[in-house]
Structure 1
Amino acid sequence: MSDDQRPSPPGDRLGHLLKKAQAKLARASAEALAPHGVDGHELTVLAVLSGAASLSQVEVAGRLGVDRTTMVALLDGLEDQGLVERRRSPRDRRKNLVELTDAGQECLSRAEQARTNAEERFLAPLGEETAASLVRALRVLVAEGRVHG
């Protein structure tokens, strides 16, 4: 078997490298968010809620691509911490609308800064230009799976 036909070592394979990099970033993010009482999933919920008028639980779940059961569990935890509140929709009593509380907005602001700082530290060994190129390249790869229209 020639060198160009030999399988590449697992440590050189793209999937392996991406998985290891994601795990390392996830650990760094979790450590950065812990003092703020939220994890990455909860922070994402807060971010979605901050960018919109009242959304229903179903709408939030749809934007995040999670099932209803997962969404209810996430919102229950955030509501228990006083970061979000749910109320019945005045137009459709079957819907629960979800909104950030003032405490939720403050938590989002602090935790988002911690997340950003953790990402910057994670990418720092690449240098600014290479880090920005990596992020752009990943956006292209992720967008390729989306329907364009």
Structure 2
Amino acid sequence: MSSDDGPGPELSRRLGYLFKHAAARLEELHTQALAPFDVDARELGVLLVLSGHEPASQQQVAQRLGVDRTTMVALIDRLEDKGLVFRRPHAEDRRRNVIDLTDHGKDTLRRATRASDDAERALLAPLTSQDRKRLRDTLQLIVAQGNSDKTDRH
């Protein structure tokens, strides 16, 4: 291996470089792990949000995931086409649709979540248990601070 191989010591310590390449590796692992369930990591995120709350509107799910309305509509359309979610009118406000998981969606969510967990374990395999926990805790702090900054500006 020549000294010209790889990003070099200056770049390889930059957070942007590290986050980008770690995220790319996790996406690769998720793509492989989730392929048998015909969902991708983003769709799994929608299913997870829906399972963790009472039936929610598209707008509520979009806010929880931090995606725009147009993207959310496309995600829900794809999940509905796959038979994983369904829309129904809101009980008190007929102008709003509520999104809920189908039985097939609940089963897919359960199995795909296990596969996603396996992908995350594969990514974090070089770390000790303590380091894995520290990494998650630290990233949660960073994300929470970013969310707090966004709400402070509104």
Same fold (TM over 0.5): yes
- Residue 53 of structure 1 aligns to a residue whose secondary structure is coil
Q: Distance in 1 between matches of 2:42 and 2:98?
A: 19
Task: Structure 2: state its 5+ residue gaps.
Answer: 1-8
| 1:63 partnered with 2:60 | no
What is the count of residue pairs matched by the alignment? 142
Alignment of 1:88-127 (within 5 A): 88-127=89-128
1:26-105 residue pairs with structure 2 within 5 A? 26-105=27-106
1:145 deviates by: 2.1
Match of 2:14 in 1: 13
RMSD: 1.6
Identical positions, percent: 49
TM-score for both structures, normalised by structure 1: 0.89
In the TM superposition, residue 61 of structure 1 has moved relative to its aligned partner by: 1.1
**Which residue of 1 is the match for residue 134 of structure 2?**
133
Gaps of 5+ in 1: 1-7
Aligned to 1:25: 26
Query: Could you give the per-residue CA deviations for residues 56-82 of structure 1, whole angstroms, max 9, x where no partner exists?
Result: 111111111111111110011100111
Runs of 4+ aligned residues of structure 1 deviating over 6 Å after TM superposition are none
1:26 Cα offset (Å):
1.1
C-alpha deviations, 1:33-86, integer Å up to 9, x for none?
111110011101111111122111111111111111111100111001110000
| Matched letter for residue 102 of structure 1 | D
- Whole-Å Cα distance in 1 between the matches of residues 126 and 44 of structure 2? 26
Once the two structures are TM-superposed, the CA of residue 147 in structure 1 deviates from its matched residue by: 2.2
2: CA distance, partners of 1:13 / 1:52 = 37
Question: What is the alpha-carbon distance in structure 1 between the residues aligned to residue 133 and residue 77 of structure 2?
Answer: 36
Kindly state the Cα deviation for residue 97 of structure 1 after the two structures are TM-superposed: 0.7
Q: Distance in 1 between matches of 2:15 and 2:53?
A: 37
Distance 2:43 2:15 in 1: 29
* Inter-partner Cα distance in structure 2 for 1:74 and 1:23: 21
Aligned-partner SS, 2:125:
helix
Equivalent residue letter for 2:78: G
Deviates more, 1:31-40 or 1:125-134: 125-134
Q: Measure the CA separation in 1 of the matches of 2:137 and 2:55.
A: 31
Q: Which amino acid aligns with 1:118?
A: A
